[in-house]
Structure 1
Amino acid sequence: MSRRALLACALALSLTTGCVAGTTTSSAPQTASAGRPFEGEVEFWTINLKKNYSDYITGLIAEYQRQHPKVKVNWVDVPGAESATKLLAAVASGDVPDAVNVNSVELGRFTPSLEPLDAYFDQAALADFQPNLVEPLRFDGKLYAVPWYNGGAPVAMYRRSVVEKAGFDEKTPPAGFDEALALADKVYQETGVHGMNSIPDVNVLRYYGIEPLSADRRTAAFNTPEAVTVLEKFKKSYDGKGIAPGAISKDIRSLPQSLDNGQVAFKPMANAAELLNTQKNAPDVYDDLVVTEPVKMSTGGYLLLAQQAFSIPKASTNKKAAAEFIKFFTNGVNQLAFCKIVPIYPSTISSTKDPFFTEAAGGDAMATARQVIVKGLPQLQYQPLGTDKDAELGEYFLEEVRAFLQGGQSAQEALDAAEEKWNQALAA
């Protein structure tokens, strides 16, 4: 669940699925600052979009150039695995793009080479962006990026025909992981179907208010009595088969028991992009799903680990034109158009007011999910681990949790071992 949600989020953010035939007249691009003459050549970088979304991007560029005939936009699309490397090389050479798509996880390492955007994006220019998505892009009080799209707030998915036998009420779904564990156990007792695939990774601990790292990000901070209690709660459910036995598999893309194969009853937190896979691979399950708000953090919000954003390198020689193009490219109308052709979610408030997000025709699960997601966007809390070893640390933690769930060690031993691995990795 949490692991799978993160995977789905990564897939949505990298935009490796789906295709697009082009934009429509109902979603025609609009400029954010019509009538102002800008001049220059803007080199514009995106990440992994050309294969499936070329029509959308080229359509926006063509419209902007029509409105600003003295501006030439050169689009460069960079493979996702190479985006950070290529930007580092460009910065080192001094031959930089003018407007560059940056994954927020990578932003911190580039800020010394980026132009603060405050002089180009005043309060009016930022007014339509979700404040909780803008503020994390500031460092030392300066804005270094403008938000674009994200994987959205999570949703919860329940197989109605199964969970109702355990007394599930979709109007009051589990509000936290403790309630989700209780429901999982009851589902198995009443139906013989495993409740869920959730195991306590480091982000589940964060939902309980347990911080994974020290404030300076140099040492592990999760080894607490509270964390021991959390792990033991999940072990009890795992032993009782409320959590499916295959949840400990390292192959998180193909867990032995899943929602799609009918051996799991619900996901208390997932990325909505997973719904598309269920719709394609298990249409009977999809038709049986009820989508609700997911479990929440102890703060009442939802954890956001990454978002896509735009920055301007310091070495750019055409910052003004680049900033104006970014304003256009990320405005509410253009973000909405993008959301209609790929399962991503906007950083602009106006986009979420469209019927595409506010109406759920016929109770369709994906349409309902969009409503849940836009309601949750203001509660997203962007809190990555913030190290250059986030994936490595996460796997170290899971290795010890898997051993614990299988009875190979106690909860305290698992946390001790994970802490040691984290501190060694962070010190390297």
Structure 2
Amino acid sequence: MTRGVLTAGALALSLLVSGCVAGASSQGAPAADDQPFEGEVEFWTINLKKNYSDFITGLIGEYQKQHPKVTVKWVDVPGQESATKLLAAVASGDVPDAVNISSLDLGRFAPSLAPLDEHFKPADLADFQPNLVEPLRVDGKLYAVPWYNGGAPVAMYRTSVVGKAGFDEKAPPKSFDEALALADKIYATTEINGMNAIPDHNALRYYGIKLLSDDKKTATFNTPEAVAILERFKKSYDAHGIAPGAVSKDIRNLPQTLENGQVAFKATANAAELLNIQKNAPDVYRDLTVTTPVRMSTGGFLLLAQQAFSIPKASTHKKAAAEFIKFFTNGANQLAFCKIVPIYPSTVSSTKDPFFSGSAGDDPMAVARSVIVKGLPELEYTPMGTAKDAELGELLSEEVRAFLTGTKSAKEALDTAEKRWNDALA
């Protein structure tokens, strides 16, 4: 994925913790879907108990006070077991009543999920950012409700370095082409690498390249336009506008970074990275200028993933699950969670709180919060929507790395990636 955008997998590990709500069957006949629910709702989370136990138990206590005939049982699941556990539940038919699912997995699990339109009317969705709700529809039906996300991306520039190349913080690069031009100029002027971006599938999306056919069975990215994009990045890679280590497969431990002072900027990044820079490289942190990031060809910002709640098709307690989801994802509760975890809400009301709207000053985190909140309505979540999104992304990245290091031409890399995608999708 693009170096400068935190991967969805990294988000899942570091910030985008998952959770799910499950209904345990009570003895006797299950409650009818149109009747008030009485019984136990089993609530699963993933790796939350260690750091957020007080928050979760507080919400559970509040909900049970409002619904005295409902008992919420909280189970915390290790992250590496979450997908396997859900797959096993679906296969056995003993499913949760609701599940907090990464939007990246929605396409994979959609056939096993129930449409939510019956339980989430327009009034129930009114406080959610519309641009975060709509991508969770499949064939016109709503299969998930947004929870939270990593926020709009930001750009980070080492002021003392980029200033030598004529960088103007009031007019930062608006596109990857402009960012590449700045990166080349920075290295020519300072001999410091510009950035770590490579033309992976997400970068191609910034240029408006369509990745898949409408039926999601065939790769469509192998075009003359994509060849030209790869060749433009190669020009910067050869000129050290893109750092040599950007081709590393381990994108969490790149050789040249902002933290170690060997890269000048990130044209698009998750603001959570600022926390690591502040902790590990305080001098770099104090030198940072944070601005609006590069935009997609549509004018918006790419959102790689969001956390959302769904209800399995086989659930016998859909109404109870829906009511709990409405409570757990309401604006007040999302705001409270955002105050203890560096994440961003899907609800509009949350962003109007002084915690977000009152951000001021030139501290990088304060500036980032302001940039992110302003960018939330412009987020575009456009996943490939296959069961193999992560695998497909890595297959293309492998070929791009081969091209950048001179093993293949751009056309050869795209030809091979296209075949590998089609084989994987067959």
TM-score by length of 1: 0.91
C-alpha contact (below 8 Å) 1:357/1:367 kept by paired residues:
no
Residue equivalent to 2:255:
256
Q: Which residue of 2 aligns with 1:173?
A: 172
Q: Is it true that 1:286 corresponds to 2:310 in the alignment?
A: no
Match of 2:222 in 1: 223
CA separation of 1:186/1:4 partners in 2, compared to 1, >3 Å: closer, same or farther? closer
Q: Is the Cα contact below 8 Å between 1:45 and 1:99 reproduced in 2? A: no
Q: CA RMSD in A?
A: 1.9
Distance 1:220 1:296 in 2: 24
For the residue of structure 1 that corresponds to 2:185, the secondary structure is helix
* 8 Å contact kept, 1:3–1:201: no
User: Is the 1:71–1:321 contact (alpha carbons within 8 Å) kept by the matching residues of 2?
Assistant: no
Quote the residue 1:2 is aligned against: 2
**Deviation, structure 1 residue 37:** 7.4
CA contact (8 A) 1:15 1:49 kept: no
**Distance in 2 of aligned mates of 1:391 and 1:92:** 23
Which secondary structure state, in structure 2, belongs to the residue aligned with residue 291 of structure 1?
strand
1:319-354 per-residue CA deviation (whole Å, 9 max, x = no partner) reads: 222211111110111101111111111110111111
Asked if the contact 1:44/1:73 (under 8 Å) is kept, the reply is yes
Shift in alpha-carbon separation, 1:189–1:4, aligned structure 2, 3 A? closer
Check 1:83–1:17 CA distance in 2 against 1; reply closer, same or farther (3 A cut): closer
For 1:134-145, what aligned pairs fall within 5 Å after superposition?
134-145=133-144
- Pair 1:337-2:336 in alignment: yes
Q: Partner of 1:86 in structure 2?
A: 85
Letter aligned with residue 82 of structure 2:
S
Q: Which amino acid aligns with 1:111?
A: A
- What is the distance in 2 between the residues matched to 1:107 and 1:338? 23
Within-5 A mapping of 1:48-87: 48-87=47-86
Q: Which residue of 2 aligns with 1:314?
A: 313
Partner-residue secondary structure (3-state), 1:129: coil
CA displacement 1:21-41 (0-9 Å, x = unmatched): xxxxxxxxxxxxxxx976332
Residue 152 of structure 1: CA displacement? 1.3
The more displaced of 186-195 and 359-368 is 359-368
CA distance in 2, matches of 1:392, 1:165: 40
Is the Cα–Cα contact under 8 Å of residues 37 and 70 in structure 1 kept in the other structure?
no
Counterpart-to-counterpart distance in 1, 2:320 and 2:400: 51
The answer to whether the 8 A contact 1:180-1:268 is kept is yes
Report the Cα distance in structure 2 between the residues aligned to 1:141 and 1:213, rounded to whole angstroms: 19
Quickly say closer, same or farther: Cα 1:257–1:135, change in 2 above 3 A. same
1:366 matched to 2:365? The reply is yes
User: Shift of residue 113 of structure 1?
Assistant: 2.8
- Cα separation, partners in 2 of 1:349 and 1:188, compared to 1, 3 Å: same
User: What does residue 45 of structure 1 align with?
Assistant: 44
Deviations 1:181-232 (A, max 9, x none): 0100111112121111111111101100111112222121111110111111
The answer to which of 318-327 and 155-164 deviates more is 318-327
Flag structure 1 segments of 5+ consecutive residues without an equivalent: 19-35
Q: Is the counterpart of residue 206 in structure 1 residue 205 in structure 2?
A: yes
Structural mapping, 1:17-36, within 5 Å: none
3-state secondary structure, aligned to 1:188: helix
Q: Which one-letter code corresponds to 1:189 in the other structure?
A: A
Look up the SS of the partner of 1:72 in the other structure: strand
SS in 2 for 1:363: coil
In 1: Cα distance, 2:225 partner to 2:37 partner: 57
The separation in 2 between residues aligned to 1:211 and 1:314, in whole angstroms, is: 31
Residue identity in the other structure for 1:333: A
Aligned to 1:28: none
**CA separation in 1, counterparts of 2:349 and 2:183?**
38
CA distance, structure 1, for counterparts of residue 237 and residue 280 of structure 2: 27
- Give the 3-state SS of the residue equivalent to 2:214 in structure 1: coil
- Whether the 8 Å contact between 2:104 and 2:389 is mirrored in structure 1 is no
User: d(CA) in 1 for partners of 2:115 and 2:417?
Assistant: 38
- Structure 2 contact 153–271 (Cα < 8 Å) conserved: yes
What is the aligned partner in structure 2 of residue 413 from structure 1? 412
Pairwise CA distance, 1:154: 0.9
Q: Match of 1:277?
A: 276
**Contact conserved, 1:181 with 1:234, CA < 8 A, in 2?**
yes
Q: Given that residues 358 and 371 in structure 1 are in contact (C-alpha distance below 8 angstroms), is that contact kept between their aligned partners in structure 2?
A: yes
- State TM-score, norm by structure 2: 0.91
Deviations 1:243-280 (A, max 9, x none): 11111122212212111111111000111111111111
Which structure 2 residues correspond to residues 84-163 of structure 1 after superposition, within 5 A? 84-163=83-162
The aligned amino acid for 1:71 is V
Cα deviation for residue 180 of structure 1 reads 0.1
Q: Tell me, yes or no, if structure 1 residue 400 matches structure 2 residue 399.
A: yes
Structure 2 vs 1, CA of residues 284 and 12 (structure 1 numbering), >3 Å: closer, same or farther? same
CA distance in 2, matches of 1:388, 1:112: 11
Cα deviation code 1:70-125 (max 9, x no counterpart): 11111222233322221222233332222211111222333333232222211111
CA distance in 1, matches of 2:342, 2:314: 34
Q: Is this contact kept in 2: 1:40–1:318, CA < 8 A?
A: no
Match of 1:32 in 2: none
Give the gaps of 5 or more residues in structure 2: 18-34
- One-letter amino acid matched to 2:327: F
Partner of 2:346: 347
For the residues of structure 1 that align with 2:349 and 2:272, how far apart are their CA atoms?
22
In 2, the alpha carbon distance for the partners of 1:392 and 1:347 equals 27
Aligned mates of 2:149, 2:241 — CA distance in 1 = 32
Tell me: CA distance 1:366–1:227, structure 2 relative to 1, closer, same or farther (3 Å): same
8 Å CA contact retained: 2:194, 2:241: yes
Aligned equivalents of 2:309, 2:316: Cα separation in 1 = 17
Q: Is the 8 A contact 2:40 2:73 kept in 1?
A: yes
